[in-house]
Every structure is written in structure tokens, then in C-alpha cells.
Structure 1
């Protein structure tokens, strides 16, 4: 259970109180970036976001993987893949549905 609040954020970060848009009883949060391209170093950025928000875990996913994911798993299974890394999903018919991409480096 997480208690989100402005006091948990690093002082120099811009104020962001997204948790106020949810029911006050909700204490379990994740974050997800959806993109068509992930540039190297994104994993470090995900870790920093997590640390600045009291350890909330999240991930990043490409649009193609998001579509495969939506077809493959249930709503509740989805949150198991929030581990501060890219989530990639193989097309139907492969043994492993969810794979964690290797960390990419900037060229």
C-alpha cells in the first residue's frame, strides 16, 4: 500500500498531484508510458520516476506491444508487469507472451 503525497516528491520536481483524481480509498498505483519509440536510457528514467514517487513501479510499452498485450492478458495480470522496464509482447502463437526488453543504449 502506498500513501502518495506532495511531500514524497523531490523538492525540485514540478508539483504533480495526479493521485487526487482517484478515489481516496485507492492506495495502489502504477504508471505507464506508451510510445512508438524508446530511446536508450529510458530504464534509468523509469527508476528515477519510481524513486521520486515513493517507489511506485511502472513501465514503458511500445504501441505494437500494447495491442498484443491487450489481446493476451486480463486487467489484473497487467499490473504484474510494472517493474520499471519496457514491456514487450510477442504476437499470438508464441510461447512467451511477455518479455522484458534488454536495456538499450544511446548510439
Structure 2
């Protein structure tokens, strides 16, 4: 918390498939503590909308690949700039970038 100036997270509880398991795992308490500790330490806490296309946006060029909606697709190549993406790493980069965009 003292190192990072911005905490960005994607909102999951609107996804009905994940809502119960996340709630059971005390997701609410974790996010509440993150938000509280962020404010306590003078940091920004940004919530990224559930429907933000973090997995589908090419981090390199911004192209939106609609063929990546299926969770079984773990890797994909951007049709515009030919960059190869790991779904989760690409999503994480996009979430950080969106959080920083909202702060600035």
C-alpha cells in the first residue's frame, strides 16, 4: 500500500456465476479493507467497471477482439498489430492502464 499510488480492480460481483463464490470468500471484506487502507495512506482506489473489455482489448494498439469472449481462449493474436497476448496478462495491463487513465 505504501509503494503503490493507485489500486485498480475490476468489479466482479455483477457476474452472477462468480458472485456467490466471491461473496463466500469474503471478497467484500477484502475490497472494503483495500479501499479503507488506500484512503488511510493517501492513495487512489479505482473500481473498474465489470463490463470493461480488459481481456478483449489489445494492450499494444487498442483493437477490440470480440472473438475472445469465451474463457477457453487463453491466448490470442491481435488482428491489427499482430501482437500475441496471454488473456490474463493482457487484462491485467489493461486494468492498470484504465485505472491510471481515471486518475489523470
Q: Which TM-score applies when normalising by structure 1? A: 0.25
Specify which structure has the higher proportion of helix.
Answer: 2
